[in-house]
Structure 1
């Protein structure tokens, strides 16, 4: 399981990412100037949100509803601007490290590798008759980035090490040390500050320092440690007055390296990483593939086979026609290469999650942890209408439950601020809500500044959506204490807001709807020809609320809670405006059977109840299928990831696999515009997802999609191979977690499970559907272990 290349990276989308959940690096690996972009997940502009923002804006809700129920959608769109607040903060890079080689001889035998089995990056090359090796990693136990430079001949390392940044900064060189103090863009007295300390240890040779550079001459080996801390002290702490003592923390972490060896730090890092990574193994075909081709070449050849097999069918699918399974024609010696890339991409998603989601209250942002830009695309923010949630879809299933803790802490901060957003903007004194964009400060209010399009600014279902993750954490762990203390209060607060936000439809008083409503980033065309975004009773709103109410009632049942509130939402659940099917046989996105302004739109929010939810009735699956056919297969990277899961949830593994191959189509780096440039949704040379530009949610959506094709679990039962593609007829996977607190290992051949083992830490019963048969199985104690399991061999 490795990504490897035979040349240095020229672009960000070719670099190799390392991270420990807080600090990260993007490694380019050029011997002449090895660039490492540096990030810290807590480094943002801005400061704590003003919880007085929007006070009094709620008076406009009644006016918007009046316009809507008069069917004046143009006026409703216009009035929505009064329910908009300021923009979110920006994620920013901490700095850039340069390792500049003094050897001017030609470079040969170059290889750049990311080993995701051990979370180590290696650069190997020959120059001037010397074989050089560089190793890089970001370690969680020791909270630093480590780099080791070695050569096969003594006194061969001659290099400069330089530290700089795009943000305002100052660098000071001292004895084998660089110290950089900087701050994010904005008022120096208000914004987040950082302290970066680089320490250099040399074996032989000499080291001198000046300004922002250390110069190494004639060394046998060099070790570099880099630590970074910021003044971010939590969403409510002012970075300067009540924030973290970042200089003292960085200094302490730097001094810690004086008492350990490189080998100790490396061993701790690998051991810590592998205790998570090694939980899941995935194989396609009869044996694990030998990854013998550079990853960019593997990706390009894979893409060429996909496009050759599909031919013109991609265009037919985009136009709403159901394609045949042309991918079944892909067979031959390239099968092993396909298996290698498809399993690598799955495990790469797990690597990225371990590397970017381990720091308290700071979940992965749109680019995960890694961005070289002063101003990241879309602020690098937490986009609440799908993107943040998609990042955590695979976490529980791929046995990385611990990586959801930053999201849990962040949701608590959203709750604290969202109470004020509910009151100020929507006039609701119970519960909390969150709108489209958030940031490190847990912003919950709508954005747009009174000027932006309501189709994305004026959506307030973010809180209702994101709490599904904390409910899922309970389902996977059976941790009632967690449900009682953490999950249920967050879910209940989101449900309280939604309960008060629902209104009677004056045209049909027996049903409840939302008003105003939008369907994230989408637009309708009314029967009178008006193109707009604001409506009432949008399907996605009601699907999210329906799912939330069902989950809250289920949680209340587990906790033996029955009170006026549970009775209220149970009644409201029955009165929600139902799903409707349109004239084209598709699931309506809007209250009325209006046309979509863009039938191929990247969002499919009205299918929320199908996936990631579980509440869309099976009798509407055909309508959901028709909706997906009309949307087509060509889309952005993260949307393709979502569609993989939707098709898999419908049981159509071949179509899900088709989209998996679409997701893995080669895309050129964003700034490359040569004659062979390709810019679309897909995958960059370093396997980062191309929205475009890079958005990490597509990587995580793809990894989740593999799980959904192989295993389906609900509180009611387990299905093995529910949507297995024809192309994956043989394989094995171990360590996949299931709702209900189970883990499954299984192997299959010719599309049928040949053996499986289900394990739990509790003596549970499991309802299992396998090879078309359903059985109820009792897990029994396994030897002297504190585990219970059941196995079956066919």
Structure 2
């Protein structure tokens, strides 16, 4: 019998007491134990661990506080932290708009209408921004602790604890036990490194810090090391080798600085010109911070040294124990909101993470209990860990690599690719109860209308604002890279969906009031630029279906992956995004009780949009013309935006389109990386949990490396966040409403047979609700709902639905029969 009950707010009184006891215990342990023994080697379920140091960057463990990021290698002879700061980019403030672009718009539209796709795409190359490549996210530098060759280690262990966001290394040399702990503190805006030993006077090392940019390092005192530098152009920039896509610029770029404070306990610190040596210490605390000259997209005149000094002043009187306590308290306030258990045994946690990944992915079975469910729990919570570590209010949004990048020429510039990748990074933010971490993206969306309005005027002679498939820290909105990728005017419109989704989850009308002008401006652009096709429907032109070539220039008229022409008119994804954008503007204006005339215009325009089509192979057409090749197993499935993240395609309202979308998904095949992570959510929306699970285990997880980063041909972080979102989508869906506009919470809509027993606590649902679930033998057994502002809700499980009134508080509910 399924039970529905109310639930206390997130932290009960007893939990608060327990939390205070925990924090006090951390403080006592940290202050009382100077010569710390190596930590308990027993594995924790929510812990990444390895039995050897990182041999390369993709094996190091990531830490971050939203602004500062580091990859911790955990070496024995040398510790290495590769360092990032989220505002350090190449280039300088710049407008990419091309004043010559508009004169080619009419020609390109005419050629597309005539079916001359290759000629249209060639002409569209003249519509790109200036320069045609944007700028790139940069590494800041590297911090080294050189211990020398002090013997062969045993009992080596390198960990990342997701429950505390602390990375640790422990090992023994002879009879001496060494430990290092590293964490990135958000409240103190620092990375803290703690070295301890169970034998007095055994800690010796040399500290240095370098940068791949123009820099200098000096030791102003025996307890401080400071680096200053400037990002400058290189001869390679502007040549754009494959996947680099970095534009040229002139003059010095952004300035930056980093500082390490060295606090030894006993022993001594000795300052050299550009290094510090520590000798015979019992324990050492290092406090690192960094800053850049970035103020906003138009101003890089801040003083990074002054910013560093402010941080250092705030940490000057804090002990290591206090820094650790403040960090853990801040982090767990976010992380502890959600718990997930998918069955299986905890014994798998005793296997190193890289071996667990190999074991899971080597198992080709998909039957009940055949795979390690605990690895899915770890992957789910790792996505939440990366979100907390990489995206905090006031920081920059997560780019293609989050905040972790070690290359001056990273793949695709490690920028914001807004034809899916940036959006995917934030799919899990709301449902995984990390709404605050959504703020950097929402703020970036609010910053794009100013440059985007100029792009609309210069490139299209249109009102409103527009952004294409990429943006960077300078908030470029013009089309870039090449016409076959960049002439896609929907990036800003897709980002506006996040503004609306944040409102649906939080019911925050103040947020909606600030977001509505942004959404309205995006809609105004399309009201000015949509054209009628030969069937009398409104479509975009020119445009494309992201990163997929159609069959307009091929002999048999079938799509050919990335090998052909992409430019077209009215691709399916554009029409889907516009339906959402227009509907969201209409609904927002109604909530705010404003703009009645504009609502009427949008209702009329929305009704005139080109409908979705079903093609000759039974598939959902990706383009207006039936070009879909059933043998073209392309990674992108852009036309399935309407299934997920949108809800336009669903079994209740559009069963035929749902079957067509399923056919398309089957024909495109399963894959890994971020396309595989998207497929997990797509199959979950179809209701096929076993297929979603199969994609996760056979395709997505095999590309995860030792540190659980997704590493296909290159590293991108979107698969991590997409996997977290996909697992959540298998357990809870809330994208539909009833005829009265009340939210429908669909419980366990795509539960796979491989997870017969489990529970999840703290998932968020649209409409202002929070949900806990438990199930046994594949049957839902217990449900708790909390209202965060919602009132009427429809609870659905399998073919049963019950309408309930929760109200603004928490109270007991009746169960489903």
Judge same fold: TM > 0.5, yes or no.
yes
Greater displacement, 519-528 / 621-630: 519-528
How far apart are residue 287 of structure 1 and its match?
Answer: 7.0
Greater displacement, 256-265 / 273-282: 256-265
CA contact (8 A) 2:573 2:639 kept: yes
How far apart are residue 257 of structure 1 and its match?
Answer: 2.5
Structure 2 counterpart of 1:424: 458
CA contact (8 A) 1:289 1:340 kept: no
Secondary structure of 1:142's counterpart equals coil
Secondary structure of 2:447's counterpart equals helix
Deviations 1:75-129 (A, max 9, x none): 1111111111121111111110011113521111100000000000110000132
Structure 1 counterpart of 2:175: 129
| 2:547 paired with 1:501 | no
| 2:426 paired with 1:396 | no
Inter-CA distance 59–527: structure 2 relative to 1 (3 Å threshold): closer
Structure 2 counterpart of 1:699: 720
Tell me which of 165, 179, 182 is aligned to 2:226: 179
Inter-CA distance 763–479: structure 2 relative to 1 (3 Å threshold): closer
Tell me which of 496, 507, 517 is aligned to 1:489: 517
Structure 1 counterpart of 2:282: 220
CA contact (8 A) 1:24 1:38 kept: yes
Secondary structure of 1:694's counterpart equals coil
How far apart are residue 684 of structure 1 and its match?
Answer: 1.3
Secondary structure of 1:163's counterpart equals strand
Q: C-alpha separation between the residues in 2 aligned to 1:106 and 1:550?
A: 65
| 2:335 paired with 1:277 | yes
Secondary structure of 2:187's counterpart equals coil
How far apart are residue 199 of structure 1 and its match?
Answer: 0.5
CA contact (8 A) 1:411 1:467 kept: yes
Secondary structure of 2:429's counterpart equals coil
| 2:566 paired with 1:533 | yes
Structure 1 counterpart of 2:23: none
| 2:545 paired with 1:519 | yes
Structure 2 counterpart of 1:264: 322
Structure 2 counterpart of 1:46: 91
Structure 1 counterpart of 2:500: 471
Q: C-alpha separation between the residues in 1 aligned to 2:443 and 2:285?
A: 35
How far apart are residue 432 of structure 1 and its match?
Answer: 0.7
CA contact (8 A) 1:103 1:158 kept: no
Tell me which of 109, 124, 130 is aligned to 1:65: 109
| 2:322 paired with 1:296 | no
Greater displacement, 619-628 / 496-505: 496-505
Tell me which of 629, 637, 640 is aligned to 1:607: 640
Q: C-alpha separation between the residues in 2 aligned to 1:359 and 1:777?
A: 34
Q: C-alpha separation between the residues in 1 aligned to 2:579 and 2:799?
A: 30
Deviations 1:346-371 (A, max 9, x none): 00000000000015251001000101
Structure 1 counterpart of 2:77: 32
Structure 2 counterpart of 1:374: 408
Give the RMSD, CA atoms, in angstroms.
1.8
Matches within 5 A, 1:134-145: 134-145=180-191
Greater displacement, 419-428 / 556-565: 556-565
Q: C-alpha separation between the residues in 2 aligned to 1:248 and 1:354?
A: 27
Structure 2 counterpart of 1:462: 491
Q: C-alpha separation between the residues in 2 aligned to 1:551 and 1:61?
A: 29
How far apart are residue 527 of structure 1 and its match?
Answer: 7.7
Deviations 1:185-237 (A, max 9, x none): 33795411111010100011111121321111111011100010100101121
Structure 2 counterpart of 1:166: 212
How far apart are residue 790 of structure 1 and its match?
Answer: 3.6
Structure 2 counterpart of 1:651: 687
CA contact (8 A) 2:769 2:790 kept: no
CA contact (8 A) 1:756 1:793 kept: no
Deviations 1:356-409 (A, max 9, x none): 001525100100010111222110100010000000000000000000111111
Secondary structure of 2:695's counterpart equals helix
CA contact (8 A) 1:759 1:790 kept: no
How far apart are residue 501 of structure 1 and its match?
Answer: 1.9
CA contact (8 A) 1:361 1:408 kept: no
Structure 2 counterpart of 1:679: none
Structure 2 counterpart of 1:775: 802
Greater displacement, 178-187 / 577-586: 178-187
Deviations 1:285-320 (A, max 9, x none): 2776661111011111111113xx3xxxxxxxxxxx
Structure 2 counterpart of 1:100: 146
Inter-CA distance 720–287: structure 2 relative to 1 (3 Å threshold): farther
| 2:495 paired with 1:442 | no
Matches within 5 A, 1:185-196: 185-186=232-233, 190-196=252-258
Q: C-alpha separation between the residues in 2 aligned to 1:752 and 1:345?
A: 24
Tell me which of 673, 686, 697 is aligned to 1:661: 697
Secondary structure of 1:229's counterpart equals strand
Count of aligned residue pairs for this structure pair: 737
Q: C-alpha separation between the residues in 1 aligned to 2:549 and 2:505?
A: 36
Structure 2 counterpart of 1:76: 120
Tell me which of 641, 649, 668 is aligned to 1:631: 668
Q: C-alpha separation between the residues in 1 aligned to 2:801 and 2:660?
A: 27
Greater displacement, 648-657 / 288-297: 288-297
| 2:777 paired with 1:750 | yes
Tell me which of 316, 328, 332 is aligned to 2:367: 328
TM score, norm. by length of structure 1: 0.90
| 2:557 paired with 1:557 | no
CA contact (8 A) 1:758 1:789 kept: no
CA contact (8 A) 1:198 1:226 kept: yes
Structure 1: gaps (5+ residues): 310-326, 667-681
CA contact (8 A) 1:752 1:771 kept: no
CA contact (8 A) 1:393 1:700 kept: yes
CA contact (8 A) 1:99 1:161 kept: yes
Structure 2: gaps (5+ residues): 1-45, 234-248, 558-563, 738-742
How far apart are residue 771 of structure 1 and its match?
Answer: 4.1
Q: C-alpha separation between the residues in 1 aligned to 2:273 and 2:460?
A: 54
Greater displacement, 573-582 / 461-470: 573-582
Inter-CA distance 793–131: structure 2 relative to 1 (3 Å threshold): farther
TM score, norm. by length of structure 2: 0.88
| 2:685 paired with 1:640 | no
Q: C-alpha separation between the residues in 1 aligned to 2:140 and 2:429?
A: 27
Q: C-alpha separation between the residues in 2 aligned to 1:762 and 1:396?
A: 15
Q: C-alpha separation between the residues in 2 aligned to 1:90 and 1:768?
A: 46
Q: C-alpha separation between the residues in 2 aligned to 1:719 and 1:154?
A: 59
Q: C-alpha separation between the residues in 1 aligned to 2:487 and 2:553?
A: 23
How far apart are residue 772 of structure 1 and its match?
Answer: 2.6
CA contact (8 A) 1:298 1:341 kept: yes
Deviations 1:242-299 (A, max 9, x none): x322111101212333211111111000000000000000001277666111101111
